[in-house]
Structure 1
Amino acid sequence: MQTVEETIDVAVPVRTAYDQWTQFESFPNFMSGVESVTQLTDTTNHWKTKIGGVEREFDTEIVEQQPDQRIAWRSIDGKSHAGVVTFSQLSADSTQVSVRFEWNPETFTEKAGAALNLDNKQVKSDMKKFKEFLETRGTQTGAWRGEVSDSGPTGTQL
């Protein structure tokens, strides 16, 4: 199992950072290797990635979502992938964003990348791109303010 953790401070209010992260279809703007993310339902996304020449498609489900605090997900199609992103307000205009995810590298390329710590470097780079994307825009591209728990989603898309 490979684990990656990264934290970055973003010069936007916590609501702005959180709201942008709920816009999964915008991930290709700042996540290298993510070709597309299609939101199928409030809690299900279909991903297409190409990392190190390895193309993958998989579905994830949001298993927990608390506005301005936390989003947790896991894969639902047999691939071992899970993660959480948390948001902590540092000041009125500053937010700490922390991401942690785990997966099982399958191919030789994925295992070699993990051994060389390339995954950590990529996530660090992607978090910097998220920061630049959001700070340059100054506002989120949309928002979903609903909550997700064991009982399912509640809320509306903004």
Structure 2
Amino acid sequence: MFTETEQKVYDILDLLEIKYDRHEHDAVYTIEEANNLGIHIEGQLCKNLFLRNRKGDIHYLVVLDETKQVDLKSLAKQIGSSSLSFASVERLFKYLGLKPGSVSPFGIINDTESEVVVLIDRDITNAEIVSFYPNINTVTIGVSYLDFEKFIKWKKNQILYVDID
């Protein structure tokens, strides 16, 4: 039996006819912990960051390769934003319905007004399979990159492609 949070993701993926591979594991809060699980998860493991601009009136979900670090100044300049910082726990819950440690692009399911701008690192667009939490950090699911984009477009959130070194 899945949690309601997790089931909501699967219901939408099923609705969109998106196939996924599901992997259960211990709770993980960092990429390093995920890599130490000792299980093989096919595809590009992604990390996801929830950011806000200086005024706090624009929020961004950054999706990038697990091994990369984001220079927030460079990213802000690239997207034409004021300075960026990590959004608060309260904002994460308000916009994505998520708790720290379970940030995922699937959180936009809870973004009722499609306000969050999704920033996708161009390097992951080349991946055949991308892997994310289904809004809980005890499971990782893999979907094709094309199906991942199909999901974002279905939700009607703005997508921007960025270059993260």
> One fold, TM greater than 0.5?
no
Higher normalized helix content (fraction of residues): 2
Higher normalized strand content (fraction of residues): 1
TM-score for both structures, normalised by structure 2 = 0.30
